[in-house]
Structure 1
Amino acid sequence: MILRSLLLTAGVGAALASAACHAETPTVPTPKDKAAAQAEIWEKEQAIYAARGRGDIGAYLSNTATDYLAWSPLRAQPEGNDGLRKTGKMLEGKDQERLQMTLAGFAMNGDTAVIYYNTHRTRRSDGTPADDRFEVTHTWVREDGVWKVFGGMARAMPPRPAAAGQ
């Protein structure tokens, strides 16, 4: 009986190991697919910030994935859609933000992509002049064929020494 249990356990372990080795790995996108995804996601990022600049967080909320979570430099911890709604309440009636965005990088594997960009805010939503620079990453996943923000993180751009040749 003990021998039979050991053989059965070994057989199950071998089957699980075999299944793990044969599991599908995410496909590496073709350059054309990657370029198309980057263009689509970058357009969505710009639309999210343009709406936010008008005091409208709805474009962001409509583009979040299941279990979305992101960490703003203004928050003590990552927050989901409830955090976005809090931000929306703070932005009501404030539509003067001016922000420039610069794409810094893009990575993609299967139905997951990460976009990296810098923002430079020259006016806050209440009209106050600013010189705020942030570095942002958003992780996007394709849900039912549609790119959605799954997670993100932003931080104030730290001072850096000038690189040689710049």
Structure 2
Amino acid sequence: MGASYSCIITKEKVNIPASVPHFYKGDILTIPVNCGYWAVISFLDLFESGKLDGIDEQSDSVFKSGSESKDPLSVLYVLKQTDLTLRRFMLLYYSEWADVPDDVSYAVFDKGSILSETKTTSMDGAGSVSAFDYMGIDWSNVYRKDYFHEASDEYFRLLDDQKRL
């Protein structure tokens, strides 16, 4: 079987609205983003070229389950819902087929800029600096198959806790 996911990962302490699915595993905050490989690649390219400046659009598919969005604005929408745009975070896309990595893309953003030395795509190869090392995150924790299943359970537990308050 194959699996794919995209997400924003950070160790920053930020307030995330309950309407934005997110979870903590230890000190790592993960925000799933419903977009595919090409949407992540397009977002990175648009961000680097400055073409996202001034765009204030919403993606209506960003939190829906099912098919991955092909809209690079899905990532921008999530960032605008959080307090991460001027902080340090990593955008990650990962897919595998039969337990073999297929497409991988990620980059670290810091203070509103992409750190180009951390940008890695399946097409371009690895950046000169590991994004995971830069973030101080053990990549094996994020690439585990059960990571998102465990995290999903944690998110829904948090929602239940908030409902009880």
With the length of structure 1 as denominator, give the TM-score of the two structures: 0.28
For the pair shown, which has the larger CA radius of gyration, 1 or 2? 1
Larger relative helix fraction: 1
Which structure has greater strand proportion? 1
Using the size of structure 2 for normalisation, the TM-score is: 0.28
